[in-house]
Amino acid sequence: MKILVVEDEKKVASFIKRGLEEEQYEVETSFDGEEGLKKGLEGGYDLIVLDVMLPKKDGLTVVKELRAKKSATPVLMLTAKDSVEDIVAGLSSGSDDYLTKPFAFAELVARVRALLRRSEQDRGAEIRFNDLRLDPVSHKVWRSDKEIDLTAKEYGLLEYFMRNPNQVLTRTMIAEHVWDYTFDSFTNIIDVYVNYLRKKIDREADKKLIHTVRGVGYILKEED
């Protein structure tokens, strides 16, 4: 597995590189956003670890441009900011996960493994529910044959719903399966993302598919 680390603090980049290499990953580093974007677009990486605050081009811009160029490489974003707004901004830009600084290296490795594992599993038959279709290979989603543009995290959330239809999913279940950990005080991020998804999936449709189970969580089902 080949990983690109884009981090302008060379000591931090070296620490991450050395640690991941000890975990048997092949690692390359880049120290500014422009070079990181160029390398990311050249492809060949299984994962990109990307700092937010970078010279020449910030991390949010880098991941937006990667996604605009149809790069599906998983991105783990590193940030010193941990407010709900900052986390949502990072995930909305197209990153797959975030990790706040300072972090324990064991947690970084756990996030890396989870993203790589999910990437390997993103292969298989198309999933359908009602008039919703999801392609795990291309990461494309359609409703009534109209393609819907989703961010990486919105896609992950919808895939979890579609793999577990007609089942109440609690916020804890969603946090553990879509984000790979419990949000604790950030559970309202899940509500924010369900809201985003509803606007894209249900707003223009006659049948609403994503429903709130008050005090518990959410469910993907056809209206009664």
Selection from 54, 46, 52, 98 nearest residue 71 by Cα: 46
Residue 185's pLDDT is what? 47
Whether the CB-CB separation of 221 and 209 falls below 8 Å is answered with yes
Residue 219's pLDDT is what? 95
Residue 163's pLDDT is what? 87
**Per-block mean pLDDT, blocks of 10 residues, the chain (224 long):** 94 94 94 95 90 93 90 88 74 84 90 81 75 86 91 90 90 80 63 92 90 92 79
Supply the DSSP symbol for 165: T
- Angle between the 171-178 and 188-201 helix axes, to the nearest 10 degrees? 80
Residue 139's pLDDT is what? 82
Domains of the chain: 2-121 (3.40.50.2300), 127-220 (1.10.10.10)
Alpha-carbon distance of 31 to 155, in angstroms, equals: 30
Residue 122's pLDDT is what? 59
Residue 213's pLDDT is what? 92
Residue 137's pLDDT is what? 73
